[in-house]
Amino acid sequence: METTLSAIKPTGQLTLGNYLGALRNFPKFQDESKNIIFIADLHALTLPIAPEVLRENTRDVAAFYLAAGLDPKKTIIFLQSMVHQHSELSTIIGNYAYMGEMSRMTQFKEKSSHLNEKSIGLGIFTYPVLMAADIVLYNATKVPVGEDQKQHVELCRNLVTRFNHLYGDILTLPEPVIPTVGARIMSLSDPTKKMSKSDPKGDIFLKDDEKTIRKKIMSAVTDMETSVHYDKVNKPGISNLMTIYASIKNITIEDVEKEFVGSNYGTFKRAVADAIVAELTPFQNRYREIIASGELDRVLKEGAEQASQIAEVTLEKVKKAIGLYQVK
């Protein structure tokens, strides 16, 4: 049976990009595979974050998981920091990663480019190693991610291949799973940049109210033309709105082009805003109910216990394989 594993890091308020590229797809796997979804709170420490913000974001991601339809009876949901095997395995497999390949990680280059060399923390550099540990601990075979994270899964595959070559068939080789539409939602204010929760300009947040969503969409950057057609290079703003619309409606970009032949940008933008509001309103209601229910901590505690049992088996296998002395 396949094991699907994914996570979101609580670095900021979740965006429509997180929703369409990740969150919305998570529940699909729980009926067809073993499903493991966690909150990557250790990964959230790679850039400065205030403790109270981290706490609130963490709680929100957990509530959003349940609001998106993840069922704790079918999916193991937990906090990364509650399962110590993640940090332990990361320390071990970091020894099999090379500085050269780590330095080539696009996300590291992007996130550290605006920082002074002296203030780049080690965690942002070693992030993909911890992510590899996250994946292999559970023998994950499928890792649903947005396009931006594909390179990290590739690095994990290299580490697994290298490790198994040295020690035998110990770790499972994962495959990245990229959604066909919605894999990369761009910023509404600069559609050449990814919509990111840690860079709030041009984001739609999952907690935004209807009025805010409509305002943000109506003022999204477009171009001087009037026709709704897809051209990522010359019309990145309109193309991004088309991707959002297609993704929410579960249709192709060609379908969107057909639907809006002859429509102006105003009409199209209103339709995009309507679609987002219709999608997010019931989701936000479920989120509020979950927060009010007070059930979250129990779900996270039980999830961590289940996760830890699986993770420990892999960690012990790795320790034995590499020759760490086993006291009887």
Distance CA 11, CA 57 (A): 7
Q: Is 149 in the site for ligand AQP (CB under 6 A)?
A: yes
273 is an interface residue for ligand AQP by CB under 6 A: no
Cβ-based nearer residue to ligand AQP, 79 or 318: 79
**Catalytic: which of 9, 111, 142, 235?**
111
Which amino acid type is present at position 91?
A: T
Residue 29 is encoded by which pair of tokens? 């796997």
Closer CB to ligand AQP, 77 or 195, in the complex? 195
Between 127 and 265, whose beta carbon lies closer to ligand AQP? 127
Task: Report in angstroms how near the CB of residue 20 gets to ligand AQP at its nearest.
Answer: 6
14 SS3 class: coil
Q: How far apart are CA 51 and CA 261, in angstroms?
A: 49
* DSSP output for 22-88: TGGGGGGGGGTSEEEEEE-TTGGGGS---HHHHHHHHHHHHHHHHHTT--TTTEEEEEGGG-THHHH
Can 197 be counted among the known catalytic residues? Answer: yes
| 315 contact partners, CB below 8 Å, separation of at least 6 | 85, 88, 89, 137
Q: Which of 3, 5, 9, 128 binds ligand AQP (CB under 6 A)?
A: 9
User: Quick count: other Cβ atoms within 10 Å of Cβ 228?
Assistant: 26
Does 194 bind ligand AQP (CB under 6 A)? Our answer is yes
Q: Does 135 bind ligand AQP (CB under 6 A)?
A: no
Choose between 141 and 149: whose C-beta lies nearer to ligand AQP.
149
Q: Does 153 bind ligand AQP (CB under 6 A)?
A: no
In 168-264, alpha helices (H): 210-218, 236-249, 253-259
Is there binding between residue 184 and ligand AQP (CB under 6 A)?
yes
312 near ligand AQP (CB under 6 A):
no
Total of chain residues touching ligand AQP, rule CB under 6 A = 24
Rounded (10°) CA dihedral 50, 184, 192, 281: -70
181 binds ligand AQP (CB under 6 A): no
Site string for ligand AQP, 15-54 (x = CB under 6 A): x-xx-xxx-----------------x--------------
Position among 129, 185, 204, 276 found at the interface with ligand AQP (CB under 6 A)? 185
User: Residue 222: which residues within 8 A CB-CB, separation 6 or more?
Assistant: 235, 237, 238, 241, 265
| Helix or strand (DSSP H, E) at 160 | helix 150-167
| Nearest Cα residue to 229 out of 267, 248, 255, 266 | 255
Catalytic residue among 9, 34, 194, 235: 194
152 part of the interface to ligand AQP, by CB under 6 A: no
Residue 178 structure tokens: 């990229």
Q: Which residue from 36, 181, 188, 195 is in contact with ligand AQP, where contact means CB under 6 A? A: 195
Q: Round to whole Å and give the CA distance between 205 and 257.
A: 26
Whether 111 is catalytic is yes
Residues lying near ligand AQP in the complex (CB under 6 A) are found at 8-9, 11-12, 15, 17-18, 20-22, 40, 145-146, 148-149, 183-185, 194-199
Catalytic positions, written as ranges: 111, 194, 197
